[in-house]
Amino acid sequence: MSVATSNIFSMSNGQAADIANVTGMSLGDFRSSIIEAVKQGLRISALFGQPIEEGRLRLWAVLSHDARSVVHLLHADLDGDRYDSITPDCPQAHWFEREIFEQWKVKPCGHPWLKPIRFHAPYGQASQGRAEPLPEIGVTDFFGIEGCEVHEVAVGPVHAGIIEPGHFRFQCHGENVFHLEISLGYQHRGVERKLAGGPDRRTIHYMETLSGDTSVGHSLAYSELTEALSATSTPAKAQVLRGVALELERIANHTGDLGALAGDVGYLPTLSYCGRIRGDVLNMSALICGNRFGRGLVRPGGIGFDIDGDRRDELLRRLDLLEKDLSVAVGLLWNSSSVMARFEGTGTILRRDCLAMGLVGPAARACGVEQDIRRDMPHSIFQLYQIPVSTCPTGDVFARGYVRWLEIQRSVAFLREQLRGLPGGAAQLSPRPLQPGRIAVSLVEGWRGEICHVALTDSQGKFARYKVVDPSFHNWFALAYALRGQQISDFPLCNKSFNLSYCGHDL
Amino acid sequence: MNYGRLALPVLALALAPLLPGIINRTKAVIAGRKGQPLFQLYFDLAKLLRKGAVYSHTTSLVFRAGPVVGLISAAAVLLVLPLGGAAAPVTFSADLIFLAYLLGLMRFFTVIAALDTGSAFEAMGASREVQFSALAEPVLLMALAAIALAGQSSGSPLHGLPFCLSVIYSRLSLATWMHSGPALLMVAGALWVVFLAENSRIPFDDPNTHLELTMIHEVMVLDHGGPDFAMILYGASLKMWTLGALLAGLIVPVRTGNSFLDAGACVLGLFVLAVLTGVVESVMARLRLTRVPQLLVSAGFLSTFALALIIWS
């Protein structure tokens, strides 16, 4: 085991541990451990603050060691309202530290671009009764470039299409983009705060709507987390059907993305086909649980809906049709030179930069980084069935599209095998109450990438802190980075190739 | 002026909004959709005319003048526009320059109205429009000059006004095609590029996109609403009719001497052109914006080469 992580607490994905067992350390050690670990190839999956007694803050870090299939937990208590920023030595911490600054008014000294990533009153403030005026939504200082030929283009938060709100500030020279700054936070709902004190009847519904297109991914992460915290096992059939739902969600979204990529370059055939096929995949989810987005399917202790033999056969039949239609529709993309001329070499991210920024999901795999929670941190059904990791070395829009297509094909193969060998038995066990004083981490490879849920329970077995890191949280900065030196007219295409969640980021 | 010939502009004013309808219908059929009604643009125009307009405080008279001057220019062009062998109501020597510059005037007012809003988007679209049309305009003039000279060299009698559109197109016949077919084919190719580029169609622009940053023409008219926007849409369809008629008049060399038959064949050619545009939009993606000038310059070379071929053949 490496030096940096040898004395840090570790456990596997989807396990729980006593908080008391997790070694605390000084802030200096905390900082240097993270920097050293990331240098050795670990990733920051979560970095967040937890208020402890007397208004003090404890910083938690979850580091994923993909090569060893373990997650490391470390924490350090803060004495004042400032500490030395990790970001200058470890760019992965950039967004996390800005979030800590936003939520707890704790200043990471030396952070290169310190400002909140959302516009809400700090979490610490309400409890302490210090009423400062609320930050005005959307008002912030943007990075600017001066010069008589440089111009600034501001897009959003209201867009011409029906998409989520976000503000994009381009510094351009003619059609060339020097710099893009993305300002989010318009979708902030305060979900994380509402989750503290749970779980209650609302919790699962919050999970299913953290990001509407990732209902299964987030509810799966939550369910596995609470099962770890309550030491509940999941029936085999439920594990298989959860995997099926997760992969159906992946296929549906990837199909939609490929269609939308075609639409953004004005290529209508794939756009039209994929729009229809995405609907067919969503209807397959609906066949299982009655909801096209898989709501109500994944529940702590199992699944909310069992499927019978007829439905299974129907799913298998539709799967064959789906594979046939999709290979025609998507094949058109790779065979049209006019499309490939737009995809190739647009929005390129180098493998080196991808690792430095800590990208996750298809965006990372499109830079040639072999990283997939389903293989690296296997949980439930993925411990028994290994889905090959799909990568592409070029890091451009084409790579991000092509990785999606590879993943669709491999998910279809997974679905076919799992549905054919569907185990019998119960699909749902009643969940037990959560154990007090525990911490658990649950990582799930959602269609956008790594979903990280971390929960700490208090002495009553309620959530003292529940942290959600949507894959978009890791990847938004990469979109801004990918635009440097690109044409401003290629922004929508780059944006679509990442297709990040606004509400999943803003929570 | 020959009042009987006024039928041509009237026909254009009535039928021009049908062209976008045909394009959209073609795309819908190829995509397997039912699609919008053929007469959708007429309904849209009627709807927009019933609406009020909203004006930003930062805009001036220029912003309101844009759509009006644009529509008037587009309509004035119709006075010199022949339909195949059928002559236009107004003819004078070198009226093809008049046509090109009226289209230029229309563009100029659209551009300054866009700049008047002070929006970064609109200025970006204006900059693109000016850049691309500066390259498209010489292609159009070269192509028309080539057609004019091709008609002369095919042995038809040298009569009438020089470089007058109606004369140029009435001289063009099947015999001209037999004589200088390859050169005229190149001219047709160049005019096809101009037609697609100037009417903001794929592969140059995507008329259906909602993505402001990729738009060329659409982004310049984002701030116009109600009757102003109706004038812009109607003007755009007249412009499509004009450029389409120049191309259809070339590729449909039906010259019976009967104005009804000649004009009818040309209108039919226009509709076929709209179908072809729909097909192109259904099978190919947009060019990257930096590639657009390259294609336009290629079209310029094509028409210049055709002109040279006709002169020295």
| CATH (one of 1.10.645.10, 3.60.15.10, 1.25.40.420, 1.10.287.3610) for A192-472 | 1.10.645.10
* Residue A192 vs residue A426, higher pLDDT: A192
A393 pLDDT above the threshold of 60:
yes
Structure tokens at B186: 């190149």
How far is Cα A364 from Cα A350, in angstroms, rounded to an integer?
10
Q: What is the DSSP string of A311-344?
A: HHHHHHHHHHHHHHHHHHHHHHHHH-HHHHHHHT
- Cβ–Cβ under 8 Å, residues B170 and B87: yes
For residue A10, the cross-strand partners are: A72
Residues across chain B: 313
Mean pLDDT computed over A324-328: 93
More confident residue, A55 or A270: A270
pTM of the model: 0.90
DSSP readout, A147-164? STTEEEEEE-SS-SSS--
- pLDDT at position A427 is 79
Verify whether the Cβ–Cβ distance B31 to A175 is below 8 Å.
no
Residue-averaged pLDDT of chain B: 90
Q: Which amino acid appears at position A474 of this protein?
A: H
What CATH topology corresponds to A3-117?
Beta Polymerase; domain 2 (3.30.460)
The residue-averaged pLDDT of A227-234 equals 89
pLDDT digits (tens, 9 = 90+) for A5-42: 667 888 999 899 988 888 888 888 899 999 999 999 89
Domain spans of chain A? 3-117, 192-472
Choose among A450, A364, A434, A376: nearest CA to A46.
A450
Query: Which residues does chain B have within 8 Å of residue A396's beta carbon, measured at their own beta carbons?
Result: none
Q: In this predicted structure, what is the pLDDT of residue B156?
A: 53
> In the prediction, which pLDDT does B4 show?
75
Q: Give φ, ψ of A177 to 5 degrees.
A: -95, 125
In chain B, which residues have pLDDT < 50?
158
pLDDT at residue A1, as a whole number:
42
User: Is residue A58 classed exposed, middle or buried when 0-12, 13-18 and 19+ CB atoms within 10 A define those classes?
Assistant: middle
Q: Which residues contact A100 (CB under 8 A, 6 or more apart)?
A: A47, A48, A49, A59, A106, A108
B213/A491 Cβ within 8 A: yes
Asked whether the beta carbons of residue A342 and residue B286 sit closer than 8 angstroms, the reply is: yes
CB A13 within 8 A of CB A69: yes
Mean pLDDT, chain A, as a whole number? 89
Average pLDDT estimate for A81-109? 90
Q: Within 10 A of A173 (CB to CB), how many other CB atoms are there?
A: 13
Given B214, B282, B287, which is nearest A268 (Cβ)? B282
Which residues 268-287 on chain A approach chain B with CB closer than 8 angstroms?
Answer: 268-269, 272
- The minimal CB distance from A336 to the residues B32, B212, B285 is found for B285
Residue given tokens 């949507």 in the structure block = A470
By the 10 Å C-beta count (0-12 exposed, 13-18 middle, 19+ buried), A323 is classed as: middle
Q: Is a pLDDT exceeding 50 seen at residue A374? A: yes
pLDDT at A444: 94
Cβ distance A267 to B284 less than 8 Å, yes or no, reads yes
Nearest chain A residue to B212 by CA: give it. A160
- Quote the ipTM score: 0.84
Shortest Cα distance from B129 to chain A (angstroms)?
13
| A153 to B30: CB separation less than 8 angstroms, yes or no | no
d(C-alpha A236, C-alpha A422), whole Å: 9
Rounded to the nearest angstrom, the minimum Cα separation between A450 and chain B is 29
CA distance A281 to chain B (A): 19
DSSP 8-state secondary structure symbol assigned to residue A384: T
The tens digit of pLDDT for each residue in A425-435 reads: 877 888 888 88
Q: Could you report the per-residue pLDDT of A254-281, keeping only the tens digit for each?
A: 999 999 999 989 898 899 899 999 999 9
